[in-house]
Amino acid sequence: MLLSSNLRTRYWLYVFGFLSLIYSTLYIVRPICTFLKASTPFPLLINTLCIVLLILLAIGIRMKVRIVQLSSYILLGMVFSVYLYGLVTLQYPEEKIHFIEYGFLAYLVFKAIRVDIQKPIVYGYAFLLTSIFGWIDEGIQYCLPNRYYQIEDVILNCVSAALGLFLVFVFERERRKLL
């Protein structure tokens, strides 16, 4: 009981720490992006950063999880294709960053909820909670003078959460297959 309590506390601290980072930078991200756009090849930097993050994710996955099912390779290829498509088509750097960060947040929320719920419904709870966090993000932006609320961004945060959870599902499925 104590072990699960410590694990629960640690995972929720990760969730709220990462969420605090997201929310606390909402005001300063726009001026920073404006400055970087004027003084650097900013779109190239953001695209490179996002692609490097995806490559590091793929390498980390490959090192940590032994994938044995062909269907998992296909599913992973589809998820990474959607991520690449999103990174190519999204116009604003902030959207590209959110596209990756809400997938990671969904993973953290999944880990925190899974301490108490082992059933497949954990994916639904993680998606719902991460989507609510994404909606709150947009609500905060509505209140900021240099940002604005867009339903499209709420949807983007939800899609990112779904992609992150889809990755978790594939890896959990592979992990169970190996046990």
What dihedral do alpha carbons 155, 156, 160, 161 form, nearest 10°?
A: -30
Q: Is the pLDDT of residue 178 over 70?
A: no
- The answer for residues whose C-beta is within 8 angstroms of residue 135's C-beta and 6 or more apart is 154, 157
pLDDT in tens, 27-83: 998 888 889 889 999 888 888 888 888 888 778 777 777 777 888 889 888 988 998
Alpha carbon separation from 42 to 32, 56, 64 (Å, rounded): 11, 21, 32
**What b/e readout covers 140-170, taking b as 16+ CB neighbours within 10 angstroms?**
bbeeeeebeeeeebbebbbbbbbbbbbbbbb
Question: Would you say the pTM of this structure is higher than 0.75?
Answer: yes
Residue 163 pLDDT level (bands cut at 50, 70, 90)? very high
pLDDT in tens, 112-162: 999 999 889 999 999 999 999 999 999 999 999 988 899 999 999 999 999
d(CA 88, CA 122): 31
Cβ contacts of 31-34, under 8 Å, gap ≥ 24: 31/146, 33/93, 33/94
In the chain, what are the domain boundaries?
Answer: 2-178
Q: Is the pLDDT of residue 13 over 90?
A: yes
The answer to whether 173 and 73 have CB atoms below 8 angstroms apart is no
